[in-house]
Amino acid sequence: MNAQDLVNPSYGFSHSKTAYITLADGTEINGTIKDIDREKGLIEYIKLQDGAGKKHKLKPEDIKFMYLPPSGLDNLTKSLDFISDYQKWSDDKLNQEYIKEGYAYFETADVQIKKKKEKLLMQLLNPGFSKECKIYCDPHAKETTSLGVGGVKFVGGDAKSYYVAKKDAPAVLLKKKEYKKEFAPLWGSCEKVISGNPEPKWTDLTKHVITYSECAESK
């Protein structure tokens, strides 16, 4: 596995397919997206119209988690082959059928921003193997060179940073340029990850997550 096995982040969403949103109080709302407003890459609010025609304007703090349907073009960039290979590490709470259909999964997560912990609505990029460790999209991440046509990415374009959260710990920013330095502090509790990667590579991040998951389950 390598970083290509992560789901590509979604930025454009369908206004005709159904979105599935669960609110912080457990209420479920299904409907079509009318508008999504972002600020500095993060979702500020979502306007949704449910099946009864009622309109909802939701802020991130209103939402527990949600499955959003990408637009047609955005959906072409999805990498979902890993789903069937790593079921052992899938999170039971996730609806894998929606994931297989290409839906983008967002959830409210604790995120460490410098010395402050914030609750943010984050897109999960490893929904197929996120049981022990989650990789979230960094909305500000720069990318390595990619090949694409008409703004649609087909090859390359690995992000240079992600937010990573182990089990119930807050997500922390992990940067490509700092990965070798952060490698031991991040994965030190799993000797198999450390000994198997004397020269850790950023492109092997998802492989490290799988190995770490094996360690965590065996404890």
State pLDDT tens for residues 15-69: 999 999 999 999 999 999 999 998 878 889 999 999 999 999 999 999 999 999 9
Q: How confident is the model at residue 77, as a pLDDT?
A: 47
Check residue 148 and report its DSSP letter: E
Amino acid found at 110: D
Spatial strand order of the sheet with 133-137 comes to: 133-137, 161-166, 172-175
Q: How confident is the model at residue 4, as a pLDDT?
A: 46
Predicted TM-score (pTM) of this structure? 0.85
Q: How many domains does the chain have?
A: 1
Find the domain containing 137 and state its range: 3-218
Query: Cα–Cα distance between 139 and 162 in angstroms, integer?
Result: 9
Which tokens belong to 185?
Answer: 């502090």
Q: How confident is the model at residue 73, as a pLDDT?
A: 57
Q: How confident is the model at residue 30, as a pLDDT?
A: 96
Closest CA to 109 of 96, 121, 91: 121
- pLDDT in single tens digits along all 219 residues of the chain: 444 478 888 888 999 999 999 999 999 999 999 999 988 788 899 999 999 999 999 999 999 999 999 887 555 445 445 444 555 666 778 888 888 888 999 999 999 988 899 889 999 999 888 989 999 999 888 765 444 444 444 444 578 999 999 988 999 999 999 999 999 999 999 999 999 999 999 999 999 999 999 898 776
Q: How confident is the model at residue 41, as a pLDDT?
A: 81
